[in-house]
């Protein structure tokens, strides 16, 4: 989901031929509209927002990390990282061979209190931390174990590869409050509603209704991040009832909109 508003200056991508240790940390304070050009690297990346919302965009879809959630980016996957507002980001880079358990697709993960403290401690270590059985090396081993067990959450938006369907999906991403229903879309695509339902499920893994609801709720994150009232967030993404918006948000993500940003 591309962010609304003006982009700031592009962020520099670290120039690394290889990681100096199995685990490498990067801490950044990002301005509003920060973004990276599309790129890929030969190591796994895990980034999470201490404050602000991170967005990672790939050909397969978009992934969002509000405060205290993180995004797992597989090695070799082309991606772009964006923040709509100011954000404090912590990133971990992991050698492929040191996380062979890693999934082959982007995922949004909840950063548990233990993992958060481990990341904080690791970020305080020098880049060339000692190995060979040191306490620093044991910290790295425990942190990698924790990363492997972080629970996945639903802050993602899979995109179809079907060309004409992708055009319609991008329209709804840009205008989440627009009127959209199966009948309208099936007319534009020249197919029956049943055929469209099957195509949508096959291409995205979600029903049309679930995908539409998810794009609306994800679009509300920016309004909430800016400090907007829950009612304004609800209206911005097409909900006429604030209570219905809050109920849908909690059902999908496990928190109310207010709870979500209090996590930070």
What does each of the 264 residues of the chain score in pLDDT, given as a tens digit?
A: 444 444 566 777 777 888 999 999 988 887 777 888 899 999 999 998 888 788 899 988 999 888 888 999 999 999 998 887 777 888 999 998 888 888 788 999 999 999 999 999 999 999 999 988 889 999 999 999 999 999 998 788 999 989 999 989 988 888 888 888 889 899 999 999 999 999 999 999 999 999 999 999 998 988 887 777 899 999 989 898 999 999 999 988 888 888 876 655
* pLDDT for 8: 63
- CB burial of residue 256 (10 Å; 0-12, 13-18, 19+): middle
CA 151/CA 153 separation, integer angstroms: 7
Report pLDDT for 14: 74
Question: How far lies 177's CA from each of 197, 215, 217, 220, 239, in Å?
Answer: 21, 10, 10, 10, 8
Q: What is the model's pLDDT at position 142? A: 95
Domain ranges of the chain: 23-153, 160-262
In a 3-state reduction of DSSP, which class is residue 117? helix
The fold adopted by the segment(s) 23-153 is Jelly Rolls (2.60.120)
Q: What is the maximum span of the chain, computed from C-alpha positions, in angstroms?
A: 65
Q: What is the pTM of this model?
A: 0.82
Give all strands (DSSP E) within 14-68, no chain letters: 23-30, 43-51, 54-58, 61-65
Res 40: pLDDT: 92
Q: Quick one: pLDDT at residue 5?
A: 44
Query: 1: how many CB neighbours lie within 10 A of its CB?
Result: 22
pLDDT in the model for residue 3: 40
Assign residue 194 a region: left if phi > 0, alpha if psi is -120 to 50, beta otherwise? alpha
pLDDT at 222 (0 to 100): 81
| CATH code of domain 160-262 | 1.10.10.60
Residue 137 region, left (φ>0) first, then alpha (ψ -120 to 50), else beta?
alpha
Give pLDDT, residue 133: 83
Contact indicator for 230, 208 with CB cutoff of 8 Å: no
């Amino acid at each position: 989901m591309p962010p609304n508003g003006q982009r700031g200056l592009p962020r520099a991508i670290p120039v690394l031929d290889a990681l100096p240790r199995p685990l490498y940390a990067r801490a950044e304070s990002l301005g509003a509209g920060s973004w990276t050009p599309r790129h890929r690297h030969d190591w796994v990346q895990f980034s999470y927002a201490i404050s602000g919302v991170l967005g990672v965009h790939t050909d397969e879809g978009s992934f969002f990390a509000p405060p205290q959630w993180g995004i797992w980016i597989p090695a070799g996957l082309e991606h772009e990282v964006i923040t709509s507002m100011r954000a404090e980001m912590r990133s971990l880079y992991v050698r492929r061979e040191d996380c062979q358990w890693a999934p082959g697709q982007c995922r949004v993960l909840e950063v548990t209190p233990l993992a958060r403290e481990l990341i904080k401690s690791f970020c305080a270590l020098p880049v060339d931390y000692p190995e060979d059985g040191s306490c620093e090396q044991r910290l790295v081993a425990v942190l990698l174990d924790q990363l492997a067990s972080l629970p996945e959450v639903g802050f993602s938006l899979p995109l179809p590869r079907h060309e004409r369907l992708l055009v319609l999906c991008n329209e709804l991403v840009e205008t989440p409050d627009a009127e959209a229903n199966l009948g309208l879309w099936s007319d534009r695509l020249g197919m029956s509603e049943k055929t469209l339902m099957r195509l949508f499920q096959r291409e995205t893994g979600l029903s049309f209704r679930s995908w539409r609801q998810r794009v609306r709720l994800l679009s509300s994150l920016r309004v909430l991040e800016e400090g907007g009232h829950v009612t304004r967030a609800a209206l911005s993404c097409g909900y006429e009832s604030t209570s219905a918006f809050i109920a849908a948000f909690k059902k999908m993500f496990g928190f109310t909109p207010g709870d979500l940003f209090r996590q930070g």
